[in-house]
Amino acid sequence: MKSALKMAAEFMALSARTAPKTAGKDYIEIKIIDDDEELKELGKQMEAYGEKHGKRNYDRDGRGIISCGAVLLVSIKDAKTGGLNCGACGYDKCVEALDFHHINPQEKDGVLSRYSRRVFSPATKELIDREVEKCEVLCANCHREEHSKRNS
């Protein structure tokens, strides 16, 4: 049973490691604990933390960890935000001033702002994702300048 629990934790760790991440950056740290003494210590620390800070259910969860056989810990270390900014000038002060600009206007199938007003569904998300792939992020000024170049 112990080996099956560890294998399940390893599969979960693999899923966490290979899940899509912002800008392809991987900031996650993963640790599998399956040693009985380590599990006991972690469980006791959870119980103590809950008691000290008045956190409900930490005692229950701590006891669960002591008897569970394996725990997968996933954390984020030194993560940086995805940071939307203008691809032309670097403007990043106000996200509302950033636009999605279609790189090739002939490939434009829809207006992203219209999609966002629809009832959100997997189909709508797929439409949005397909449309965003055809775009670059530009601030309002650079976006207007880009369209001005095309129209002159």
Q: Give the tens place of pLDDT for each residue, 46-69.
A: 999 989 988 888 899 999 999 999
Label residue 22 by pLDDT band (50, 70, 90).
low
Sequence ranges of the domains in the chain: 2-76, 95-151
Widest Cα–Cα separation across the chain: 73
Reported as a pLDDT band with limits 50, 70 and 90, residue 26 is confident
Per the confidence metrics, is the pTM higher than 0.85? no
The residue assigned the tokens 């439409």 is: 127
List, for residues 67-95, the tens digit of each pLDDT value: 999 999 998 777 655 567 888 888 888 88
Element (H, E) at 5: helix 2-18
Cα 56–Cα 57–Cα 63 angle in degrees, nearest 5: 145
- Residue 31 above 60 pLDDT? yes
Q: What is the Rg, in whole angstroms, of the alpha carbon atoms belonging to the chain?
A: 24
**68 in Cβ contact with 84 (< 8 Å):** no
| Over residues 92-99, mean pLDDT | 84
pLDDT, tens digit, for every residue of 105-144?
Answer: 888 876 666 655 555 566 667 777 787 888 888 889 999 9
